[in-house]
A and B are shown apart, each in its own frame.
Chain A
Amino acid sequence: MQLEPPLTMDPGDHTASLTADVLDPVYESLTRFGQSLEVVPCLATKWSVDASGTRWTLQLRKGVQFHDGTPFDADAVVSSFRRLLDPHRGLAGGSRLRAVIGGVQAIDPGTVLFTLKTSYASFLSMLAVTPIVSPAADKQGILSRHAVGTGPYQFLEWKTGEYVLEQRNDRYWGHRPPTAQLKWMWTSEPMLMNMSVVAGQADIVNPLPPIFGEALARNERVKLVQGGEARVYWMALNMKSRPLDDLRVRKALNYATDRDALVRTQLRGYGTPANSPLAPADFAYDAQIQGYPYDPGRAKGLLSQAGYGDGLTLKAVVQEADADLVEALQGMWSKVNVNLQIEKMETGVFSQAIFGSAQQKAAQGIQCVFASWSAEDLDPDYQLSPLYRTKSWSPAGANLGFYSNPRLDTLLEIAAGELDTAKRAALYGQAQQIISDDAPHVLLYYSRDLAAVHRGSRVESMRLLPGGRVEFDGP
């Protein structure tokens, strides 16, 4: 059971992680992530890249069929990618691929060739989150309601207000999955998730709101499952607005934030204070970045240097569900004479407001935005480029505070194309330090993936992969 319904049964037409969770058992990609986030073979068995880093040749697994009986081969891969690359189709999952992939073609039934626009280091990770769909089902136009992939479960039914039902695929090429059926349910009432897993009406609730963690950890009918930390929460500061264009003010807000207290109260301890714009689950995460320890004295000093010793007023917008957190910040910042005014918004209004241009935000007086981000492929490029590059200024991307540093732009561009992992990690180390020094955000914390499973159910041995995906099989 989860907190929101799936948006679609078409894996290429959404960007929502809870929809991806529902579709994950039905679909497979060319590659997938192993336990320590390394990319391992899935529908592709091996691959090679040429010296320029732009031509990738992949060998495909033989003898695999889609659930509708269509054979899986190079043509299926080509059509699955072309529909995403076609801007006329307007599929929500396509734009990131369009920026990277120049073309895809079948060499023979068991081999495909991808030609990239420039060398892209996280290409294989990107493939791991791009499910392959049945070309026949796509042609019939049924994918939005009817999932057809090659995965261990096949789609049975989507009752919109109730559940999605999936059934074991007996012709599956890999390990036999543990249960005959999977039933996905959802509720908008968090209390119901808690009660469902205790009563055993749901075997698994994922993600579990941290507020229930402590009580469920003590409940003998339930096992609490903890995963990695892949999601970063932050407050974006509008650098086009005074006084947030002043580095001293931004640093002061960072020093005025007691991250330990936020982790304790907002996450009930299931998380870590953020020191870097990358999450700990990311291979390039640097634990050595100093960040900003809680130091209200220093914050006051910086504010008076900047000419705001007497205090200042800022306006933040927040979704109603996240209001608690911003109110906690309001309390902390008031100790250094920063008066944070909070405007609570309903989700639909919020999503429109935060993606406004600099002019729109100036007109609405929006200076601070509370948001979070998790890179679905757990790659630093998808965590940093949409949030910090100049070309990602909202509304084009999620650089919500109009941060711009040409040195960082260049660094991120180079790092995205660097195929040597060690060199790449070093480049991202520099990038993390630059972002931390420029303080475009008040980085808050990383939340830990949390799920609960009913004891005695057949899926009691489930694990959480980094990013929060449930895994049933394996050791």
Chain B
Amino acid sequence: MRSYLARKILMLPLILLVASFLIFWAVHLLPGDPARIMAGMQADQQVVNDVRSRLGLDQPFSTQYEIFLLHALHGDLGVSIRSHKSVAQEIGERFPHTLALTTVSYIFALVMGLTGGVLAAVYRGRWLDHLVMMGAIAGGSIANFWLALMAMNLFAVELGWVPLIGADSWKSYILPAVTLGLLPGAVVARMCRASMLDIIHQDYIRTARAKGLSTFNVYVKHALRNALIPIVTIVGMNFSGLLGGAVITETVFNWPGIGRLMVDAVRDRDYATIQGITLLTVAIVVTINLAVDLLIAMIDPRVRFE
């Protein structure tokens, strides 16, 4: 177990190094001139050239990568050409917003999905099952930006119950978290139902029931714990993906998170910011995958790492 962990952790810098080169190379392949974008459409060529040399973009590719790498090794991801702030500081300000929104939306998704999935499995074929599954199909198929706009118009513009945009209070979380949590909630509900149905017909569940355990204990302690294994894997992967920024939700709700930062950075060819966010995302995905492995070992004692 320890050596497995150590190996995974030692791999991280190597993965980041390879990723940094690929990202650096890919963003420089993007057509479009950051100097022109910064200087503006009404700027003349002289200005564009001045801006380019000030940003160091007139240097050869290898020199630019060398400078980037040396700085990155010292923890300096460069300065955003857009906000004139250090990329690390920029990410530091924006990432907590994304983390908070993703966490809240996943709590919502898990509570809704697990409750719905268990109930649907227990009441299989009855109206509650049909209701939950209809909800899951709707939640999985409605375009979330459309739902977001409808919900915003009703709850924020017409009724005024929640703020329309921004991340100022707990109320600001309601609409974006529900919008973002709906799809994973639907996935969890369907998976949970299927996996519960597999399990509740197995012998050990019958044994548990025969022992005289309460219904709650049978379903939640014995059945759900085993049903969780595939769900944890899927949720873990989705969660890490979302930490890279829920682009559409963040844009629609003007959420100051990392997803919007990334979109803006790509639009402005803000190389340093694109690199910084992508490296962060790589690190997060690797870390969360590791955490998922460990979590599964905790849930399922049969899993051992060599």
Q: Which A residues are closer than 8 A to B by beta carbons?
A: 5, 7-8, 14-16, 87, 90-92, 94-96, 98, 144-145, 158-162, 185, 187-189, 191-192, 195-196, 198-199, 201, 346-349, 351-352, 355, 371, 373, 376, 386, 392, 395-398
Name the B residues within 8 Å of A94 (CB-CB). 47, 50
A199–B36 CB distance below 8 A: no
A92–B93 CB distance below 8 A: no
Interface residue? B301 (CB, 8 A): no
Name the B residues within 8 Å of A160 (CB-CB). 80, 82-83, 85, 90, 93-94, 261
- Interface size bucket, B side? 35 or more
B166–A396 CB distance below 8 A: no
Q: List 16 A-B contacts (CB under 8 A).
A: A15-B42, A15-B47, A16-B40, A92-B39, A98-B46, A159-B93, A160-B80, A161-B256, A185-B166, A185-B254, A191-B149, A201-B166, A351-B32, A355-B48, A395-B48, A398-B44
CA distance A53 to B259 in the complex (A): 54
A198–B94 CB distance below 8 A: no
Q: Which B residues are closer than 8 A to A by beta carbons?
A: 30-34, 36-48, 50-51, 53-54, 80, 82-85, 90, 93-94, 97, 149, 152-153, 156-157, 160, 163-167, 251-252, 254, 256-257, 260-261, 263-264, 267-269
A349–B44 CB distance below 8 A: no
Q: 6 closest A-B pairs (Cβ-Cβ)?
A: A348-B32, A90-B50, A161-B256, A15-B40, A144-B84, A90-B54
B50–A351 CB distance below 8 A: no
CA distance A145 to B86 in the complex (A): 11
Name the A residues within 8 Å of B256 (CB-CB). 159, 161-162
Given the interface contacts A95-B46, A191-B149, A199-B164, does A351 sit within 8 Å of B90 by beta carbon?
no
B254–A349 CB distance below 8 A: no
Residue of A nearest to B268 (CB): A348
What is the minimal beta-carbon distance from A304 to any residue of chain B, in angstroms?
Answer: 37
CA distance A463 to B26 in the complex (A): 46
Given the interface contacts A92-B51, A189-B251, A195-B156, does A371 sit within 8 Å of B41 by beta carbon?
yes
Residue of A nearest to B42 (CB): A15
CA distance A398 to B45 in the complex (A): 9
Residue from A201, A346, A395, A396 whose CB has the most chain B CB atoms within 10 Å: A201
B164–A351 CB distance below 8 A: no
Given contacts A15-B42, A95-B50, A352-B36, 12 further A-B contacts (CB under 8 A): A16-B40, A92-B51, A160-B90, A188-B263, A195-B157, A199-B157, A348-B268, A348-B269, A352-B32, A355-B45, A392-B44, A396-B46
A349–B165 CB distance below 8 A: no
What is the minimal beta-carbon distance from A185 to any residue of chain B, in angstroms?
Answer: 7
Name the B residues within 8 Å of A347 (CB-CB). 32, 37, 267
What is the minimal beta-carbon distance from B77 to any residue of chain A, in angstroms?
Answer: 15
Which listed residue (B48, B165, B263) contacts A201, Cβ 8 A? B165
Name the B residues within 8 Å of A398 (CB-CB). 41-42, 44
Name the B residues within 8 Å of A14 (CB-CB). 40
Which listed residue (B32, B53, B260) contacts A346, Cβ 8 A? B32
CA distance A207 to B80 in the complex (A): 27
CA distance A8 to B40 in the complex (A): 12
CA distance A185 to B256 in the complex (A): 11
Given the interface contacts A199-B164, A397-B45, does A8 sit within 8 Å of B84 by beta carbon?
yes
A161–B267 CB distance below 8 A: no
Name the B residues within 8 Å of A159 (CB-CB). 93, 256
Name the A residues within 8 Å of B267 (CB-CB). 346-348
CA distance A158 to B44 in the complex (A): 28
What is the minimal beta-carbon distance from B92 to any residue of chain A, in angstroms?
Answer: 11
Residue from A14, A355, A396, A398 whose CB has the most chain B CB atoms within 10 Å: A355
Which listed residue (B33, B48, B50) contacts A348, Cβ 8 A? B33
Name the A residues within 8 Å of B30 (CB-CB). 348
A161–B46 CB distance below 8 A: no
